[in-house]
Structure 1
């Protein structure tokens, strides 16, 4: 395939066994872990956990990525489409509250084939970095019930500095609007999210203004009750980090962000305790469940 699946549109020649492009992956799926994951938002976890499938590779180059061994380090195991479908079934059989597809964009055609035409007994979650192509998202209509995008940046400065994507917001904003167009306002049943959009934003140390601008956009683009918003404090300094990225978010920074979110009228969603910034909350990518 000549790849144009994401906003990079790098046109790399990716074949089932030949990697290429910014994501550095072949067109056939590569998976680093499949598990019942307890550390997603409560509405996705249920009694046993979200059925998370962690795909290898990513179209972003975030300097602070906690999943760097799989997003940029090449860790993962190639699987066939039929095996991927079996993994989905095994997670459902284990009591997964949802099928949580983590960083799936560059494998979208294979994932669509694995999902097939019929409905699944649990919602399918597209858990992505927000740097998405609207045409690719349109191909998912009817197959994905819950979109779980990051909204990492509203300012081009930190987007270019930390993720090599100065056009991040220009791509993420229309992508999130397309997600909402497909799902409509979020729908909950007994505390479980069944459909809709849950937007995540990770507060970065020293980047409070970027967080405010992200919150501004969400509050202006959506009415109360339409989307959920998760303000995350789990930033953890990674090896080799420098400058602001070498420290955790301060209590004052997170309190200011949470107060700004409240003042902007965003009440539907989640905030995190600062104790969420712990390395053990990142799973081991040991190829288990594959």
Structure 2
């Protein structure tokens, strides 16, 4: 068994060997607790028939645990300085491939076709860079990739928003967007003390299991998400005020919007956070007639 990368001593040794310094702009925080990595990977429920996609492998701490659990691991790393380090730290594993690429610009479909022909299930497992957490998750969900789900670490406050239920202060358009595609749950809280450098906030690991089909039928997904975003534009405002101020020509169409709310059986004086995903689906389908 190889010595874990993710210990404080080994991490510092590797960094000193390569003279590596953290780039704040890339949101680099390296995990130095093997138990937490083991836990993250166990939530992904990988077998030796499965593949894993990782984003931002750093010096390979999580990658190593994935390599031990999965048939194949492909990781996207944007920081060129880490490539020689990863080649070194992951040299014991022949089932890992590192792509020097920004996942937000990458053709992930193509990568999956090239790298994961012979796996049963595919999971995304990553300690995501905090500054681009949401765009990465949304890209991977909206592109209709053949993945089973994700187990990702991110800022606790973002995890709270993703897994939030209607009627709570964390519930918003992000909760709806992600729960439309997946069943979301927070599986562990991770204290800031297990990273170097220590971030300013605690982290959480969320598990997203892709749904076979969305929980609601909508005429247009794009318009459904436009309506949910508009409904939360200013949280303290009522849904009618948000919709009239945010939707194109909303003020001119106020009467039609009120009529659509009534057909959807939603009181115009409610706030967005009180509406469930089925409520928003009914509303978006009624409003679609008004705006198209």
Superposition TM-score, scaled by structure 1 size: 0.29
Considering fraction of residues, name the structure with more helix.
Answer: 2
Superposition TM-score, scaled by structure 2 size: 0.29
Instruction: Tell which has more relative contact order, 1 or 2 (C-alpha 8 A, sep 6+).
Output: 1
